Amino acid sequence: MKVLVTGAAGFIGSALVRRLSQHDDVSAVLAVDQQKPQASSSKVVAHVGNIAYPRFARSLVDKDVDVVFHLASLVSGGAEQNFELGNKVNLDASRDLLESSRVAGHCPVFVFASSIAVYGGTLPDPVTDDTPALPRISYGAQKLVCEILINDYTRRGFIDGRTLRLPTVMVRPGTANTAVSGWASALVREPLAGRHYTCPVRPQTRMACLSLGRVIDALVHAAELPRDSLGHDRTVLLTGIAVEAREMLEAAYRAGGKRPLGQVRFAPDATIQAIIDSVPRATRSRRAAALGFRHDENIDAIVADYLAHLD
């Protein structure tokens, strides 16, 4: 089968492309991003372009594309800083890709990466399948609109949609992006790289977290689920374990061994802290477990996954 991945040069996208290129049932992976994605095998066809341009986005799905993984987005901090660009990338481009899938006429599987940013305000701890979505940032609102569209396009038979609400995915290598949750990855990445870091949240701040490996497993598993297993609601909340900022740092130090480690100090930023305090501290989904999705056991497993992906 032929698979399309948007955001293929990104943190999650590049790992997904590598996994798909090793899949026996995948004949070709069309890897789409603004910068050229890495071609990890002869199956990978890099396609450079900006899905914010409607003509480009609507050209991506043809009759030969069996599965679409839509990961491309302008993440939380960027979407909050630039409202128009956030709508263009996260909402308009997603609808253009859905239209491309509709016009293709053969109901491709459409896997969408949503976010726990769809939740906001005063939240239960943990957030569960029964917690209503009420976003307090534009990124979350844009993701929620896309979830509703995917449900409707599936109802109409245009696509076979599957949406995953992702917790904070860590540990992001390289440099941070504009996500307001970027500090979580930095608390592990920076000291292990021997770099000092100033964390913009309090040590006791908790986040719902999931490793990159588990997310890639979840995306592939979502695409392989029988259509009838999801029913009318195509959105699945993934379980993310609750980890405090200080626990992330302690896990990094435990994993550091004899390598020289960078030092971390906590200097909370009021704006970032307020946003983080309004999103889920933990998520727990019985539905995800029943469908076969798995989560990490603890923060040490997440750090181990990061180090394994670095090798």
Q: Where are the beta strands (DSSP E) in the chain?
A: 2-6, 28-33, 44-48, 65-70, 109-115, 127-128, 160-166, 168-170, 197-199, 206-211, 235-237, 241-244, 264-266, 283-284
Structure tokens at 31: 């890897």
Sign of the alpha-carbon torsion through 65, 68, 69, 72 = positive
d(CA 22, CA 49): 25
In sequence order, which residues have a C-beta less than 8 Å from that of residue 77 and are 6 or more positions away? 177, 178, 179, 180, 182
The tally of CA atoms less than 13 A away on the side-chain side of residue 304 is: 7
Given the residues 119, 139, 153, 197, select the one marked as catalytic.
139
Write the Ramachandran bin of 292: left for phi over 0, alpha for psi from -120 to 50, otherwise beta: left
On whether the CB atoms of residues 3 and 12 are closer than 8 A, the answer is no
Element (H, E) at 293: none
Neighbours of 270 (CB within 10 A): 8
Residue 189's SS3 state is helix
- Per the annotation, the verdict on 197 as an active-site residue is no
Residue 31's SS3 state is strand
What are the residues facing 206 on neighbouring strands? 244
d(CA 30, CA 6): 8
Residues acting as catalytic residues: 139
